[in-house]
Each structure stands twice: as C-alpha cells, then as structure tokens.
Amino acid sequence: MIGRIAFLCVAAVIAVTAQQNVAPAAGDAASGKVLFTKIGCYECHGYAGQGGAAGARIVPMPLNEQGMIRYVRRPSGEMPAYTGKSASDRELADIYAYLKSFPPAKKAKDIPLLDGIKNRH
C-alpha cells in the first residue's frame, strides 16, 4: 500500500512537469489495445486504465514512455515485474500509445448533469 502511494505521488509530480512537453506516443495504439488485454493489464487496471481494487488508475498516464517501461520492468508494490520475455519494449511502447490515446477527462463544469447538481446547492 505504501509503495502504491509513493508511486502515485511520484507519478503526480511527473505528470505536472510532463504536461508542459506533451508529444504524441510513438507506438501503435491499436496494437497496444490488443496487447493490454492479451498480457492481462486490464485485469487490475480495467479496460480503459480506470483502475480498480487491484490496480492503480493509469489513464491519464502520468509517466512518459520510458518511465512507464522502467516502472513495468521494476515496479514497486504488488504489481508483478514484466520482463522482456513477457513484453518487449516495442510492445510496451504500443501499450503506452494505447493509454495515451484516451481523451482527457472533462471538467465537472463541462458536464451538464454535474454542473446542474453543483448549482443547486
């Protein structure tokens, strides 16, 4: 649990600094979607990277491509390590592209139902 919290804190700092220099992912998002399911990432992180009881939310992906690959190879907490035999760097780059392909979440003020609830109070 502490490892997960530490990862989330580091990821938040990286996300804030990475937002200034966002470049499109170099991998193939369509292939990454297939691999995300085939390798089993969805089992803990959900099909859309939304997270769940067993895995952290990974969309929006807070790390750059190399940071994600390093983390997947040597994770902290309960996540198992994925060696090059489990997934190549190219395959992980495709998974990264898939995770980066999700549009950013809308702000509550831009969702009419949520904005209406807020204004009622």
Domains of the chain: 2-120 (1.10.760)
Among candidate residues 54, 30, 31, the one with its CA nearest the CA of residue 42 = 54
Please report the pLDDT score of residue 7 as a whole number: 44
Q: Rounded to an integer, what distance in angstroms lies between the CA atom of residue 64 and that of residue 13?
A: 12
**Whole-model pTM above 0.75?**
no
pLDDT tens digits along 78-90: 999 999 999 999 9
Residue with tokens 């509550």: 108
pLDDT tens digits along 23-72: 455 899 999 999 999 999 999 999 999 999 999 999 999 999 999 999 99
Q: Rounded to an integer, what distance in angstroms lies between the CA atom of residue 70 and that of residue 64?
A: 10
Among candidate residues 2, 3, 72, the one with its CA nearest the CA of residue 32 = 72
My answer on whether omega of the bond before 112 falls inside 30° of 0, hence cis, is no
